[in-house]
Each structure stands twice: as structure tokens, then as C-alpha cells.
Structure 1
Amino acid sequence: MSTASAYLRVSGIDIDVVHKDIKHLHVGVYPPLGRVRVAAPKRFDEEQIRLAIVQRLSWIRKQQKQLQNAPRQTEREMVTGESHYVWGNRLRLKVVERPGRAHVEIDGDRLVLYTAADSSVESRRSVLERWYREQLKQALPPLINKWERELQVTVPKWTIRRMKTKWGSCNRESRHIWFNLELAKKHPNCLEYIVVHEMTHYIEQKHGERFARLMDQRLPDWELRRNELNGAPLAEEEWSA
């Protein structure tokens, strides 16, 4: 039986640590972003775990690099029949070519893109990206407001952007939070997990035991949500930070 999870940060790498009734320490690097998880014997203290991680840093970085360079799903051509994800649901794209303003709507299990007949693939992708961004802009304010009350903190500024290796980021000095545009494709529970995670950094900077305790208190199923997020389908298109 495992005990409560903890966090460590070693040489710039965030490590999830779980103590278990096992004899040997195990290190795993998991897709899609190269999350590192350590299962350690209960008798191991933090320094022993840190030493074991340092000894495996070369292997960990190699595994992370392989995951980051792994081919993603083929770049979308923005034609009828393609699969696209919206809030964790897989929808089929339907392209409707007609004059007028290009925009996106959901119709049942279809994601409908209205666009001009001569529109390019790039312009169609741009329309869909703006739509995803709008979904997040609508979903984030009520979540942030809710957790400002729960955590008794204030978020002065937040931004949606493309990020290659992080779902979210927080500058503790400026209190500026960034959210990955890809979150609009994931289940809403995953978005709330990132909101709480980044806002908790206002209270505790490091991914240590205190951070894990705070997450346990505020969002008891945060580990399930994190695992769901990290196990979600990779982006359909290539993108960079």
C-alpha cells in the first residue's frame, strides 16, 4: 500500500514520488510530456531519493527527449471526416463551404467549420484555433473566480498560449498564469486541475510535500485528474512554444 504522494525538483526536473512497500526504487518517464514518477521504498528519505534520481538523470533526460521528439498524430488537413477533440470529446469535422464570416459550431457529434470555398488549410486552422481559444476564455473566468475564493488568493493576470511541454505555468513574482491552448481539447476536469495547480503555486512555490498536501486538501482527486490529462490524446497538429 502506498502513502501520500510528494514532489521533488532535481536539476530542473519535477519528480512525483510515491512511497510503497517495495524493496527497490523504480523510476518511470511517462507520455505525453515526459512526466517523471518515482516509486520508493518507505524506508527511503528525501536525500536517498534525490541521490537515486541524480544517478539516473542521464537516462531520464534521454527518455524525455524521445517522448518530446516522438511523432504526433498527422497534421490535420481541415477536411470533412477528420477527428478533433473538444473538452475531451472526439468530434468529426464537417466543412461547410459558403460565403460569409468563417466560424465554428458544434452540432451533435459534429464540429462544423463554416468557411469560404477558396480558404486555405492554414486559414481554416487559424479559425479553429481562435475558436478553441474562445472556449478557454469562456471557461476560465468562473473557475478562477471559484478558486480565488477557495484559496483566498487573487489572479491579477492570466494568458492563453501555445506551450510545448507544459499544461500551465505560473510566475510567482508577477502572479501571471499561463494556460496551454491545448487544454480546450481535454476534459473540463483537467482544466480545473491546472487552474488549482497553478494557483496553489501562489501559496507554495516548490513541488514538495506541502504542495501535495495543499492539493490533497483542496482537490482530493487531483492525481486522477492529472493522470487523465497526461493520458489524453496528443495534439493532432504540430505546435511549438
Structure 2
Amino acid sequence: MSEHIQLGDIRVEVQRKKNKHAHLYVYPPDGRVHISAPLHMGLDALRAFAISRLSWIKAQQRQMLAQPRETEREYLNRESHQVWGRRYLLEVIEVDAAPVVELKHSTLVLRVRPGSDEARREALLDAWYRQQLRAKLPALLDKWQAAMGVNVRRILVQRMKTRWGGCNPRTGNIRLNTELPKKPPECLEYILVHELLHLVEPTHNARFLALMDKFMPQWRQIKDELNRLPVRHEEWGHSVT
């Protein structure tokens, strides 16, 4: 049975896991609040924990609700698209040949077969963005795995609605959001460093923050930049998981 805590008009979802400590998350786009709680921790203790972080929760929710949204994409000529933080205008060329996506000066060229619909164009560009992300990873992994003394087992590039990345310290797997190739390159590096560091320290405790400061002293500025940039247009609902 699902559990929750009500703090005024804020509903805090509770999920039981084999954690040693409780972890609090505020998820975009609408500031949904979630606690990953140890099996033994009672709701009264979890309520006290949530109340102690209430000002932080509200600050995170205000920031998320204020973050701008991209307009809905239709994949038409002259539409604006971002690649590594730079603006490009889409040029759709219909040609009876294999699809190709390429950058030319300030233009993002999409060559598609005649009659390709919006869904097909979106799928082709999504696949291209994934390729751009994966092309950046080898150099970044060589740099940061050596610096941290860690080895990631597998990196999964996925569309994610609620976070930029994720790490499972038990399996050694890291997930990265397919939206990252639209942001400045330092944003991808920051997210990768953050997730790699969870292989050293699974929680966002004082040690984790100190290590982030050690490896990437400017990480807070990059995080703020990422949080100010427009996020993907979605039909967001309150049941995002």
C-alpha cells in the first residue's frame, strides 16, 4: 500500500527501500516531493525529516515552476533547435535516400524521404541527439574515471522526465538524459561527474558535496545554469514517475 505525508498543501510520497537513511527528492516539472525511506523508519520520524527540509522543498518547487518551457516542436523548416547550447534553424529536405542529420553553419539539416511525418522526423532527430551524446562520452569517461578512481559498468542514454541523470551504485550503471546534447557541453560534464561520484558516495551528504567541490569547484554555477535553461515541452501531468 502506498504511503504519503501531508505537509499543508504539499503531499510527500513515501517509498520503502533497503536504505540506511531517508533521501528526499523534489522532481520536475511540478515539484513532486518523494522520500525514499528505510523499511524501519516510522511516518512520524519521516514527517519530522520532511519538515526539517520544508524551506528547501518550497525553494526547489518555486524554481521548477518558474523554469521556462520550450515551445512544442513540429519539425518544420525554420524551427529553432538547440545543439550543445547553440541555436540552429531546422532545414527539412525531402529526398528519396537514407535519412541524414547534419549541422551546417547555423542550420540543422534533416534529410528525410518524401512524405515523412512529424513522428518520423522527431524519431530521427532524437536518435541523432543520442549519437551526439555518446560521441562525447569516451573522452569524458577517460578523464573522470581516472581522476576519481572509479569504473562505470554501463551508461544508458534515455529520455527521462524527472532528472538529468541517475546512478545505481550497486550495478555500476549510469543513466543520462537524451536532452543533455541540447545544453552547453559543461552541463553534460557536470551531470556525468555527479553520477560518477555516486559510485564513491551514494548519498548527497556532506562528503558528497565536498568531493564535488574538490573535483569540479564550479559545479554550483553549472547547475544553476542548467536549471535556468528551458526544458522540453511535454504534456506534463501529476502522475510522472
Shorter chain as normaliser: what TM range? 0.7 to 0.9
SS in 2 for 1:214: helix
Partner residue, 1:198 = 195
- Measured in 1, the distance between the counterparts of 2:76 and 2:194 equals 36
Q: CA deviation at 1:58?
A: 10
Does structure 1 residue 189 correspond to structure 2 residue 179? no
Partner residue, 2:141 = 144
Partner residue, 1:178 = 175
5+ residue gaps, structure 2, are 1-20, 34-46
- Of 142, 156, 159, 2:156 maps to 159
Identify if the C-alpha distance between structure 1 residues 143 and 35 changes in structure 2 by more than 3 Å, giving closer, same or farther: farther
Identify if the C-alpha distance between structure 1 residues 219 and 131 changes in structure 2 by more than 3 Å, giving closer, same or farther: same
- Of 109, 114, 117, 2:111 maps to 114
Identify if the C-alpha distance between structure 1 residues 206 and 225 changes in structure 2 by more than 3 Å, giving closer, same or farther: same
- Of 10, 16, 24, 1:13 maps to 24
Identify if the C-alpha distance between structure 1 residues 207 and 35 changes in structure 2 by more than 3 Å, giving closer, same or farther: farther
Q: Is the 8 A contact 1:33 1:230 kept in 2?
A: no
Identify if the C-alpha distance between structure 1 residues 153 and 30 changes in structure 2 by more than 3 Å, giving closer, same or farther: closer
Q: Is the 8 A contact 1:88 1:186 kept in 2?
A: yes
SS in 2 for 1:93: strand
What's the % identity of the aligned pairs? 45
Partner residue, 1:128 = 125
Q: CA deviation at 1:117?
A: 2.0
**Which segment is superposed worse, 211-220 or 57-66?**
57-66
- Measured in 1, the distance between the counterparts of 2:28 and 2:70 equals 14
| Structure 2 counterparts to residues 81-100 of structure 1, below 5 A | 81-100=78-97
Partner residue, 1:40 = none
SS in 2 for 1:91: strand
Q: Is the 8 A contact 2:68 2:231 kept in 1?
A: no
5+ residue gaps, structure 1, are 1-9, 15-28, 37-49
Bigger relative contact order, structure 1 or 2, given CA contacts below 8 A and separation 6+? 1
CA deviations over 1:20-42 (Å, ceiling 9, x no partner): xxxxxxxxx89767599xxxxxx
Under a length normalisation based on structure 2, what TM-score does the superposition of the two structures give?
0.74
CA deviations over 1:182-231 (Å, ceiling 9, x no partner): 00101100000011100111111111111111011101101111111111
- Measured in 2, the distance between the counterparts of 1:54 and 1:177 equals 31
- Measured in 2, the distance between the counterparts of 1:115 and 1:66 equals 39
- Measured in 1, the distance between the counterparts of 2:107 and 2:234 equals 19
Supply the RMSD in Å over aligned alpha carbons.
3.4
Under a length normalisation based on structure 1, what TM-score does the superposition of the two structures give?
0.74
- Measured in 2, the distance between the counterparts of 1:128 and 1:144 equals 25
Q: Is the 8 A contact 2:27 2:163 kept in 1?
A: no
Partner residue, 1:6 = none
Number of aligned positions between the proteins: 205
